[in-house]
Structure 1
Amino acid sequence: MRKTTLKSKSYVQEIKGTKKYDDAEALSTIARSISMNTGASKQRMIAEDIIRHGNVRVPAEVFTFRELANATENFNPELLVGEGGFGRVYKGYLKKTNQVVAVKQLDRNGVQGNREFLAEVLTLSLVHHPNLVNLIGYCADGRQRILVYEYMHNGSLEEHLLDLPPDRKPLDWYTRMQIAKGAAQGLEYLHDTANPPIIYRDFKASNILLDETFDPKLSDFGLAKLGPTGGEDHVSTRVMGTYGYCAPEYAQTGQLSTKSDVYSFGVVFLEIISGRRAIDNRRPPEEENLVDWAKPLFRDRRKFKMMADPLLEGNYPVKGLYQALAVAAMCLQEEASTRPLIGDVVTALEFLAIRTDEVNSETDV
């Protein structure tokens, strides 16, 4: 079955010699092998197949479990820096390269961990951009599925934006706009440069990581999905992602498109502007859902300032706030076709991220 369904290694070597060999060919070849799999032994075989495709920039290293256990002091709880639905992330240190890394140990229970592992290795082996996290390597020893990334010193956007502890300084307006711009540029690369396009499908504040200078990088590509090809405008798939960030058409019908990512970006951008969570059950019922709270306010210019994060203490350009809210509102349109392309969002954010001397007063509006 494998010989008749998959393209052979010799075929891959053959197309490598032609000018037509590109990421699309490598991607489709690996994707077909992933779609076949059910068993653990095939999972291991596929993980190995991924690194055999010469055109794909493979992770620098395939680690043993022992190496990563040593790097994290046997996955010491004190080195735990994050925890999500798919596993735990530890801060680690690789002695032989003198490198601080982030080590994500996926949950070994169920097939979902394997799917995320394969999707992540596949995606990050094919896409390269300053606003996408760099995958250093991985481990597929036995039932272990571990991913090793560059370490992002400032953690996630969520940690600097939502429910701040008293000792943490809130992000200023222009840092917020710079982060939004960089995150949008990462999406733009996935949508417009990757071939075929990739739909991220899990855009949220906790998946936007920040380096020493607060430049953002998208992480967690376990839910990434190949975008539509052949003139189609969407792909149909089971609904996955995080409640509060999913586009309505995707949540209702399973129809996924790049415009679904644009909606999710709109939710996060509204979080960046307002300092409010997408879903916050501690607030009054009419304010629990961020988008539902914001929609009536979008229609009344006099209420725009109510949507600015109180932690900004009024230190933002009023024009910039109004323009940012306009961008968020466009991204959050109910109909996917009326949302802007992410490239247009990037263009708008490039202007919003430029520092001005504008004073925060109504006379400037």
Structure 2
Amino acid sequence: MQMSLLPHKPHIFLLCIFTISLLVQSRLTLHPSDHNTHLHINKDFHVQRALEKDNEMDITPKRYIFAENSQGRNESYRKKVVDWILEFLAGMLSGSGSGLIFSLLIKLIMFVIRGRKKSPSWKIYSTVIKKPEDLAFLEKENGLASLNIIGRGGGGEVYKAVLSNGKEIAVKKINHYLRDSEALGEEDSKFLNKKMRQIKSEIQTVGKIKHRNLLPLLAHLSRPSYHYLVYEYIKNGSLQDYLQYVKEGERELDWLARYKIALGVVAGLEYLHMNHTPCIIHRDLTPANILLDDEMEARLADFGLARAIPDANSHITSSNVAGTVGYIAPEYYQTFKFTDKCDIYSFGVVLGVLVSGKLPSDDFFQDTNEMILVDWMRNLMASEDPRRAIDPKMLGNGHDEQMLLVLKVACFCTAENPKERPNSRDARTLLSQIKH
């Protein structure tokens, strides 16, 4: 393997060669009779160009005359320094390994002059990450080997890491193999392209939004075979996992905490739909994508399917089913058109989950006439005993009426006709008016 001895910047290399040639020329053109003349090179040195002109304005070769220094005490020392530099460069260029050494020297000079460059691949979106070097450990070989996997989803695995300042972060690694993409079949190629679009969508979306109920993207690293997406670490995990712990008796989640989560989710939706330009549709609002921070505040996460549209009255069309079964609005299956009202439908399902304590994927619904959570919830709300839709663990705690009102809002949000559903701002207003 042959190593290139030339620097990556040819113009810098040529400039250095030119400078060295001038120094060598100036030393070699000194007259022998001037061997007692001492050279003084400092910030005040003068270069005088002597131009000899004849009648035809011809220009003779240039001579460089260095000013003499009268301070004898410093002349000898400085002359030795100049001699040492010239002899070092001459020897370096004449040696067998001079090219490599010279290349390293040039790079050192460039480092000193230009300063240390920041990694161009890391994109930092938050002040939580002070500098790209804080994440350098992720680029080491097997950099994730010692980290714990805390989740899977959105096309990759999620790891927990700790920065040097003690800040905890979550790192999502998404692999893709560009070299093998040409050998993939049509279906695999479509899947790869879809995943890459989702990564791009998440970066474009989350990198720009700032809201207390949305999980911010802290940084992004792009490499040929993978992407790193860095987020704030959310200790309590997802709402879906938390509800599972509640079912197993490992944790508790009373009604006031669930109501607070509902308000946080709809506040995040209102920001995406009404307060952000352009309007952003999440397209996969589920308990698995709702994270709970230390104060049990809801954070909407996983924007891999999110899309921006010009305004809330517009829609986007997808050729593939997007979202999670049980949370997808019925009109989407017919038209593949996603609007903000599709997010509202998903939010209505989330409200049903919070009040009932049941997920659309639970086996419980296989034994019901309705088969799906939304129909089961709506039928019970129209029955003589709507309290059967409430999580038995929360019945009789003094909030039954408030929970039934939230279920009514859930029914409004899951209306079959999207025009009958409230927008996110109206949904937040309805929930906020429920007194406890």
TM-score by length of 2: 0.63
SS of equivalent residue, structure 2 residue 278: coil
* Deviation of the 1:258 alpha carbon: 0.5
User: Can you give the 5+ residue segments of structure 1 that lack an aligned partner in the other structure?
Assistant: 1-47, 357-365
**Which of 255, 274, 295 is the equivalent residue of 2:378?**
295
Instruction: Give the letter aligned to residue 236 of structure 1.
Output: T
Q: Residues 26-73 of structure 1, C-alpha deviation per residue, up to 9 Å, x if partnerless?
A: xxxxxxxxxxxxxxxxxxxxxx89969xxx989956579852266996
The answer to whether the Cα contact below 8 Å between 2:285 and 2:327 also exists between their aligned partners in 1 is: yes
The offset of 1:163, in angstroms, is 6.0
Corresponding position: 1:329 with 2:329: no
SS in 1 for 2:207: helix
In structure 1, distance between residues paired with 2:241 and 2:316: 33
Residues 71 and 341 (structure 1), Cα distance of their counterparts in 2 relative to 1, 3 Å cut? farther
Q: Is the 8 A contact 2:122 2:221 kept in 1?
A: no
> Does 1 or 2 have the higher relative contact order (CA < 8 Å, sep 6+)?
1
Superposed displacement of residue 152, structure 1? 0.6
Distance 1:213 1:246 in 2: 29
Say if 2:123 and 2:220, in contact at 8 Å, map to a contact too: no
How do residues 348-363 of structure 1 correspond to structure 2 at under 5 angstroms? Answer: 348-352=430-434, 356=436
Structure 2 counterpart SS, 1:329: helix
**Secondary structure, in 3 states, of the residue corresponding to 2:277?**
coil
Residues 183-242 of structure 1: CA deviation (Å, up to 9, x unaligned): 11001000001101010101000101111110111110110011244x953222233111
Contact 1:201 1:224 in 2 (8 A): yes
Corresponding residue for 1:154?
236
Deviation, 1:282, is 5.2
Structure 1 residues 330, 63: closer, same or farther in 2, change over 3 A? farther
Alpha-carbon contact 2:285-2:343 (below 8 Å) kept: yes
In 1, the alpha carbon distance for the partners of 2:242 and 2:141 equals: 27
Once the two structures are TM-superposed, the CA of residue 107 in structure 1 deviates from its matched residue by: 3.9
What amino acid does structure 2 have at the position aligned with 1:122? Q
Distance in 1 between the 2:141 and 2:232 partners? 13
SS of equivalent residue, structure 1 residue 146:
strand
Structure 1 CA distance for aligned equivalents of residues 139 and 122 of structure 2: 24
1:85 Cα deviation (Å)?
Answer: 4.6
- The letter for the 1-side match of 2:265 is A
2:317 is aligned with 1:236? yes
Whether 1:216 and 2:284 are equivalent positions in the alignment is no
Compare 62-71 and 231-240 and name the one that shifted more.
62-71
CA displacement at 1:348 relative to structure 2: 2.1
Q: Label 1:177 to 1:228 Cα distance change in 2 as closer, same or farther (>3 A).
A: same
- Deviation (angstroms), 1:303: 2.2
Q: 1:99 to 1:64 in 2, by over 3 A?
A: closer
What per-residue deviation string (whole Å, max 9, x for no partner) do you get for residues 158-192 of structure 1? 11224645342231001001001001100100000
Q: CA RMSD in A?
A: 2.8
Do the aligned residues in 2 keep the contact of 1:106 with 1:144 (CA within 8 Å)?
yes
2:138 is aligned, of 58, 62, 68, to 68
Specify the alignment match of 2:156 in structure 1. 87
Cα distance, 1:264 vs structure 2? 0.4
Match of 1:195 in 2: 277
Pick the aligned partner of 2:263 from 165, 181, 205.
181
Q: Using the TM superposition, give the Cα deviation of residue 295 of structure 1 relative to its aligned residue in structure 2, in angstroms.
A: 2.2
Q: Report the equivalent of 2:167.
A: 99
Comparing 163-172 with 319-328, which one deviates more in the overlay? 163-172
CA contact (8 A) 1:170 1:312 kept: no
Going from structure 1 to structure 2, the CA distance change for 1:144 and 1:316 (only over 3 Å counts) comes to farther
Describe how 1:1-365 pairs up with structure 2 within 5 A.
67-68=137-138, 74-76=144-146, 79-95=148-164, 97-108=165-176, 110-162=192-244, 164=246, 166-229=248-311, 232-238=313-319, 239-281=321-363, 283-286=365-368, 288-300=371-383, 302-352=384-434, 356=436
Deviation (angstroms), 1:87: 1.1
Distance in 1 between residues matched to 2:163 and 2:407, nearest whole Å: 44
Q: Look up the SS of the partner of 1:145 in the other structure.
A: strand
Contact 1:62 1:139 in 2 (8 A): no
**Structure 2 stretches lacking a partner, 5+ long:** 1-119, 178-191
Q: In structure 2, do the counterparts of structure 1 residues 333 and 63 end up closer, same or farther at CA, with 3 Å as the change threshold?
A: farther
SS at match of 2:385: helix
SS at match of 1:154: coil
Q: Helix, strand or coil for the counterpart of 2:161?
A: strand
Count matched residues.
Answer: 300
Instruction: Give how far 1:285 is off.
Output: 3.6
Q: Is the 8 A contact 2:328 2:345 kept in 1?
A: yes
